[in-house]
Amino acid sequence: MDSLMIKGGVPLEGEVQISGAKNAVLPLMAAALLTDEPCVIRRVPDLSDVRFMGQILASLGAEFRMEGDTVHIRAARLKGMADYDLIRKMRASICILGPLLGRLHQAKVSLPGGCVIGSRPVDLHLKGLAALGANITVKNGYVHAKAPKLVGSEVFLGGRVGPTVLGTANVMMAATLAEGVTVIESAACEPEVIDVANFLNGMGAKISGAGSPTVQILGVDKLHGVEHEVIPDRIEAATFAIAAAATGGEITILGARPDHMSAVLDKLGEANVKVERRGRNLTVKRGGRLKPVDITTLPYAGFPTDVQAQMMVLMTLTPGLSIITERVFESRFMHVSELARLGAEIAIEGPSAIVKGGRPLSGAPIMASDLRASAALVIAGLAASGTTVVNRVYHIDRGYERIDDKLRRLGARIERVKET
């Protein structure tokens, strides 16, 4: 198991290229199961989650090949059962359920695993697929779904904390091969949902309204192969922007989509971080003394929960009080205790973290608990004095392509080592 050893206190300087969006790539790969023709996906990041998904597709009978940042998938022959040993490794694997049901009219998929950040139920996925006519039962840890045929329907996907991104993608994918029209109300509006819809439309689907709360799908008889380039990863771009501000450096983020990052860029501006936009590139540096900001995570286009931990690190370095409220996942403050080991002052009150910022951070051994917490702890280590060792960085390899290499090219003193 690897750790990252960081000698902090060095301002990041230079340029960094943003990879394709992890949260789009995984459902795109699953969508390739909807056709027996070849699909080619470009700008695919080299992540452990991508490799896991490739193994899942291969276990289902699909041909999977990754060449550089290009993935080739052909599901000419397909079986409808996905094994627990692969599915348990990440929650996004549940998005194979919709394509299998659409293509084969039956599926048996293990309930998924993933980051430990609170309850992430798949009930809305199952509700949506049942509305299309699927008979669904959960038994012995597996979802069993069967439908002689899928029929378009009105589907409401609003949940306790808002719409479901993967649930929207799952229902949308199954509905492409259903009879008639499906209307998804309270659909997730994330850019990754739009990317999946564009991929499906490229395959011959008829989807309109993606990116809005109402998505309409007119079912077709058959889908064909497609070539597609993945959108840039807005969470990776936000992470590097915050890292630049936290270390007092100046970096240019290449190949981002600023229009997907409005909430994050707005809060960085409030914190007195200067962000200059040049097309799809962003140059980020402090505008002077950092200012405290209050943040509440919300579904898109609100402030993303996947950037909450990183922004909390920046607020620990900012003199004054900040309040960060988590409204998407109820257990996403596990990084707080690790930040405290570096000297941060943070108190948890219900869904909010009260950050008393301005104290310098100092290096210490710390433990990552999930993907985005890992990124936050790396940023903290970059900003801290002395040496920080971030353990369990397999989490970060699930969502950030070679983050240590990218940081080294920006001047960071960071080294991957084996845990002792």
Question: Looking at the annotation, which residues are catalytic?
Answer: 115
The H or E element that residue 135 is part of is strand 135-139
Instruction: Write the DSSP symbol of residue 103.
Output: H
Report the DSSP beta bridge partners of residue 397. none
SS3 74: strand
Strand runs labelled E in 149-272: 154-156, 158-159, 162-163, 181-185, 206-208, 214-218, 227-229, 250-254
Distance CA 41, CA 57 (A): 14
Instruction: Tell the burial category of 140 from Cβ atoms under 10 Å away from its Cβ (0-12, 13-18, 19+).
Output: exposed
Handedness of CA 67, 69, 75, 78 (dihedral sign): positive
SS3 227: strand
Other C-beta atoms closer than 10 Å to the C-beta of 325 total: 17
For residues 385 and 317, is the Cβ–Cβ distance under 8 A?
no
Distance CA 347, CA 356 (A): 8
Ramachandran category for residue 264: left, alpha or beta (phi over 0 → left; psi -120 to 50 → alpha): alpha
